[in-house]
Amino acid sequence: MSRFALPLDLQLFAGEKTEKATPKKKQESRRKGQVAKSMELPSAFILFGIVLLLFGYGSLMRDKIENMFVSTFHDYMGLEMTLNNVSTMFGRLIFEGLILMAPLFGLAMVMAILASYSQIGFLFTTEPLKMSFSKLDPIKGIANLFKLRSLVELLKSVLKMTVIGLVVFFSIWNARSDFIEMGRWPLVHTFSFTAHLILMLGVQIAAIMLVLAVFDYMYQKYEYEKNLRMSKDEVKQEYKNTEGDPLIKGKIREKQRRMALQRMMQDVPKADVVITNPTHFAVAIRYDPKKAEAPVVIAKGMDYIALKIRQVAEEHGIVKMENKPLARALYDQVEIGQTIPADLFQAVAEVLAYVYKLKGKTAVK
């Protein structure tokens, strides 16, 4: 080892956020309204949808606007200028204008909802609306201006304006000869050419904004995942808070096992017979025709528990019978509280018959 090497303290990296966010932390972040979302995508969707709508709806809008001007100059200009006539004229014009713009407003709302839903799904939260004095901290606000995120937003805006500006410039430059000849065209032809040029520019700009919005969403998702990263200690602590401390859970399980064993041992004196292996397995069986149609396993155990079952059975005078295959089969196939399965019923019935016969002989004596 070089004499210039410095000792590396691994504890310095204990708090480094290297782990992906857990589902619980992502859910908590979503509940607070913190999600990966690009603000560029809704505006791009709205612009693209409106431009496409204008290709089919533009001629109808032109006719409607023309009729509004015609009716205004033809029907209303000859009327007497009274308050009632002016109110009627402006009310009708506003109503017709709203009807004319309603499809555009409706489409813009639908596209905005689709763009938001495609990014974050359905989300309703009031957390971002809550008052937070930390947002009013001027020092923190100034510090945010020098963060990498602010620089990325600035570069994104510059890139967007530059690309859109170039598209507009080259579109107008390519049509410069038409602009020169436009003074000789009829007014209707001029309006038609201008509208077509604007719509084509709208399609190109909308397509560019969609592409930039997709890249922006990818960056926002990367930034979101990066900010949610957790350290190994945070992951462990969250697991403890969610699942509980492993030591405490182990103690609880051990206590539950002891309580279950105690209840099981209290049922052993009620057994009719204990079938043994003879040392490795022990199964206590009780048959009560009033409660069940078949015999029931009320206790079972292996090794140490099997020994305890045999000891309790001996203390209370319960008959013990050695039957290695039957004891092993009952231990493997039947849980405590369950009745004997059909394939073992014949063997158990023979054991019970022998036990009842043995008890009958003892009673006679």
Q: Which residues, given as ranges, of the chain have pLDDT below 50?
A: 1-6, 8-13, 361-365
Q: Judging by beta carbons within 10 Å of its beta carbon (0-12, 13-18, 19+), is residue 165 exposed, middle or buried?
A: exposed
Q: Judging by beta carbons within 10 Å of its beta carbon (0-12, 13-18, 19+), is residue 226 exposed, middle or buried?
A: exposed
The whole-number pLDDT of residue 116 equals 85
The whole-number pLDDT of residue 135 equals 60
The whole-number pLDDT of residue 150 equals 75
The whole-number pLDDT of residue 18 equals 77
The whole-number pLDDT of residue 162 equals 92
The whole-number pLDDT of residue 145 equals 61
Q: pLDDT per residue over 45-91, tens digit each? A: 898 888 888 887 877 887 888 788 777 777 766 667 777 877 888 88
Q: pLDDT per residue over 191-201, tens digit each? A: 788 888 888 88
What is the SS3 assignment for the chain?
CCCCCCCCCHHHHCCCCCECCCHHHHHHHHHCCCCCCCCHHHHHHHHHHHHHHHHHHHHHHHHHHHHHHHHHHHHHCCCCCCHHHHHHHHHHHHHHHHHHHHHHHHHHHHHHHHHHHHHHCCCCCCHHHCCCHHHHCHHHHHHHHCCHHHHHHHHHHHHHHHHHHHHHHHHHHHCHHHHHHHHHCCHHHHHHHHHHHHHHHHHHHHHHHHHHHHHHHHHHHHHHHHHCCECHHHHHHHHHHHHCCHHHHHHHHHHHHHHHHHHHHHHHHHCCEEEECCCCEEEEEECCCCCCCCCEEEEEEECHHHHHHHHHHHHCCCEEEECHHHHHHHHHHCCCCCECCHHHHHHHHHHHHHHHHHHHHHHHC
